[in-house]
Amino acid sequence: MLDVKMLCLASLMGQEASGYDIKKNLERGAAAGMIDASFGSIYPALSRLADEGLIAARTEGGRGRGDKKIYALTPAGRAYFLHTLCGPMPEEKYRAPFLFAMLFAECLPRAQVVRMIDEQVAAWQARLAFAEDEAALCEASPGGRFVNGITRTMLESGLAYLRRHRAALESASASRRPSATWRLSASVRCATSRTGPNSSCAAAPRPS
């Protein structure tokens, strides 16, 4: 259900947008981090949606950059989007390269562990700052308010936990030989498995 086509339709709910606008919305809006979407995937998706009659496109003169296409949701596109949302909710897939790397912190040089932690803190702080800036805009929508609130809560919790435990990660770095850890232990399987309502694995914010 959560693919580039659906995210393009979501970006057009209530407003027209260019492909560039959609890309920026997916990078920084409420859907940021949910799925990777490049221009190479957005424009083919928009073309397919137009062919299917789910969106309409018109050409608008750009400001010194030539003409650009502006996309709008059609009634059929809105109906399709809402119908798809009401379908069975697929099991969540959780990918966290930072957490996967930290499973092997004891095998890595301390400087590398410190660098990765610093980068992760900076990434979560940037996402948190953006979510806080967007909070006022989300107040008009109960759904937007919920998503913004849970996003900020997850980021704040992730940052607090990381700050409390980073010293243990840093001191443990390079303390074991790789052969002692490169087995797919229960913790590795947990961190790399799918998460869902019945999963015992704790969720954390996805890195930007």
DSSP symbols for 148-200? HHHHHHHHHHHHHHHHHHHHHHHHHTT-S-GGGT-S--HHHHHHHS-B-TT--
pLDDT at 115: 96
In a domain, 183, yes or no: yes
Strand partners, 205: none
Q: Is residue 205 part of a domain?
A: no
* Res 10 pLDDT > 80: yes
Both 101 and 184 in a single domain?
Answer: yes
Number of domains making up the chain:
2
Q: Answer for the pair 9, 73: CB distance below 8 angstroms, yes or no.
A: yes
Choose one of 85, 118, 150: the last residue of a domain. Answer: 85
Count helices and strands (H / E) in the chain. Answer: 8, 2
Q: What is the mean pLDDT of the chain?
A: 80
Which two structure tokens, joined as six digits, stand for 180?
């002692």
Whole-number pLDDT of residue 87? 87
> For residue 141, what are the domain limits?
97-192
Q: Are residues 49 and 11 in the same domain?
A: yes
Q: What is the pTM of this model?
A: 0.67
101, 186: one domain: yes
Tell me: the pLDDT tens digits for 130-172?
A: 888 888 877 878 888 898 899 899 999 999 999 999 999 998 8
Q: What phi, psi does 92 have (nearest 5°)?
A: -70, 145
Q: What percent of the chain has pLDDT over 70?
A: 75
Tokens 């099991």 locate to 91
Mean pLDDT throughout 168-178? 74
Structural domain ending residue among the three candidates 85, 113, 138: 85
Domain harbouring 53, CATH code: 1.10.10.10
**How many whole angstroms separate alpha carbon 111 and alpha carbon 185?**
25
Please name the residues in contact with 180: beta carbons below 8 A apart, sequence gap of 6 or more: none
Same domain, 103 and 61: no
